[in-house]
Amino acid sequence: MTHLLNQLFVAIGGVLGVLLNLLPQSPFQYVLTVDSNTINAIAWIMPLREVVALLQAYVVAVALYYGLRIALRWLKVAGG
């Protein structure tokens, strides 16, 4: 059974691969060529990692807040 499922996965993966190969490559791959040493130099004086981490946590918090608020409004607990 496992063998059959694996073969099925291979088949599906193959079909998807063929379909995806028809699509063009992403034109935004320049990011990978960014000189990381320059960014590291900027990060020496700017807290880039921390800023991104903070943004991450912030977005999560705001998203939770909005989600909770919508849920409470649907439940007629909170006013809008």
Partner 1 sequence: MRKYKKPIAAVLVVFLSLFVLAPARPVEANPAIVITAGVGLGVLSTMIAAGACFTNTDDATKAVNNYWNSSSTDMKSKWEVIASSLAIVAGSTAYNVTDELWNDMRSYAKEKYNSGANAVNVVEEAPSEYMVDSTQYQAVDVGSDCFSVQGQNIAKPGSPGYYYRGIFKNGVAVCTETNTSATALQYDYSVVRVDMVLRARVVTHGTQNVIDYRVLANLATVPVTARLAPVSYSYNATGAPWVDETTEEADWDTIDELLYDWYYDAVSGEWQKQARISTGGPNPDDPDPPGKGRLIQIGPTLLSDISNMDAEKLRLGKGKVTEKDPTKPYEPAADPSPVTPPSMGTTTEKTPQPSTRTTTTVEEAPKEGGGSTRTTTQVAETTTPVKNEDGTTTTTKTTTTTITKQDYDPQGNPEGSPTIETKPGPTSSTTENPTSEKTELTTGLIDILTDTEVNPADGKRYPTKLDFGPLLIAGAKLTWKFPFSLPWDLARAFSPFANAGEWQPKFDVVVPDTAILKGFSWTADLTMFNGLASVARKFELLIFSVGLIMATRKLMGGDV
CA distances for 60 relative to 12, 38, 53, 73, angstroms: 34, 29, 11, 20
**What is the nearest approach in angstroms of partner 1 to the Cβ of residue 72?**
11
Task: Say which amino acid occupies 63.
Answer: A
What track of x and - describes contact with partner 1 for positions 19 through 48 (by CB under 8 A)?
-x--xxxxxxx-xx-x-xx-xxxxxxxxxx
What is the largest distance, in Å, between two alpha-carbon atoms of the chain?
Answer: 57
Residue ranges in contact with partner 1 by CB under 8 A: 2-3, 5-6, 9-10, 12-14, 16-17, 20, 23-29, 31-32, 34, 36-37, 39-60, 62-63, 66-67, 69-70, 73, 80
